Amino acid sequence: MSKRPASEALDDALNADSPASKKSRFDEPERTLDASRPPQQNGDGDAATPRENGTNGHKEEDEEDQRRGSDADDDDDDDIPEEKAPIRQSAPTAGYDDLYLDTIDRGALDFDFEKLCSISLSNINVYACLVCGKYFQGRGPKSHAYFHALEENHHVFINMATQKVFVLPEGYEVKSSSLDDIKYVSDPRYTRQEVADIDRCPRTSLTIHGRDYVPGFVGMNNIKENDYLNVVVQALSHVPPLRNFFLLEDFGGTGTTSKAASELVKRTSILFRKIWNPRAFKAHVSPHELLQEISLRSNKRFTLTQQSDPVEFLSWFLNNVHLGLGGSKTKAGSSMVQRVFQGKLKVESQAITAKADVGDRLRFEEAAEVKIDVSRFLLLTLDLPPAPLFQDEEQRNIIPQVSLAAILAKYDGRSAQEHLAHRRRYRLLHPLPPYLIMHIKRFSQNKFVAERNPTIVTFDARDLDVSPYVEPDPAAHPPGEPILYDLVANVVHEAVRLREDVADTGEERKTWKVQLLDKARGEWVVSQDLFVDKIQRELLCMGESYLQIWERRREQPGGGSGGARKGKGKA
- In angstroms, the CA 167 to CA 91 distance is 10
Q: Is 210 left (phi over 0), alpha (psi -120 to 50) or beta?
A: left
**Whether residue 210 has pLDDT greater than 80:** yes
Strand partners, 68: none
Q: Does residue 21 fall inside a structural domain? A: no
**Whether residue 25 has pLDDT greater than 60:** no
For the residues of 165-207, what is the DSSP string, one character each?
EEETTTTEEE--GGGHHHHHHHS----HHHHHTTTTS---EE-
The reply to whether 180 and 200 lie within a common domain is no
pLDDT of residue 480: 86
Task: Yes or no: say if 151 and 128 are a contact pair by the CB < 8 Å rule.
Answer: no
Nearby residues of 275 by Cβ (< 8 Å), 6 or more positions away: 215, 216, 218, 220, 233, 234, 237, 285
Task: Yes or no: say if 458 and 500 are a contact pair by the CB < 8 Å rule.
Answer: no
The reply to whether 374 and 523 lie within a common domain is yes
The reply to whether 492 and 522 lie within a common domain is yes
The reply to whether 172 and 142 lie within a common domain is yes
The reply to whether 278 and 412 lie within a common domain is no
The reply to whether 222 and 168 lie within a common domain is no
pLDDT of residue 528: 94
pLDDT of residue 261: 80
**Residue 43: closest CA among 53, 58, 55:** 58
**Whether residue 5 has pLDDT greater than 90:** no
Calculate the alpha carbon distances from 317 to 225, 291, 322 in Å: 17, 11, 8
Question: Beta strand 370-377 with 284-285: parallel, antiparallel or unpaired?
Answer: unpaired
pTM of the model: 0.79
The reply to whether 219 and 277 lie within a common domain is yes
Q: What's the CATH code of the domain at 179?
A: 3.30.40.10
The reply to whether 384 and 531 lie within a common domain is yes
pLDDT digit string, tens, across residues 359-413: 555 566 665 678 899 999 999 999 999 877 766 666 565 788 899 999 999 999 8
- In angstroms, the CA 264 to CA 317 distance is 9
Task: Yes or no: say if 454 and 399 are a contact pair by the CB < 8 Å rule.
Answer: yes
The reply to whether 169 and 201 lie within a common domain is no
Q: What's the CATH code of the domain at 368?
A: 3.90.70.10
Domain count for the chain, please give it. Answer: 4
- The parent domain of residue 162 ranges over 101-185
pLDDT of residue 370: 82
**Whether residue 71 has pLDDT greater than 70:** no
**Whether residue 445 has pLDDT greater than 90:** no
Alpha helix positions (H), 114-163: 144-152
**Whether residue 285 has pLDDT greater than 90:** yes
Q: Give CA torsion, residues 46, 51, 57, 62, to 10 deg.
A: 90
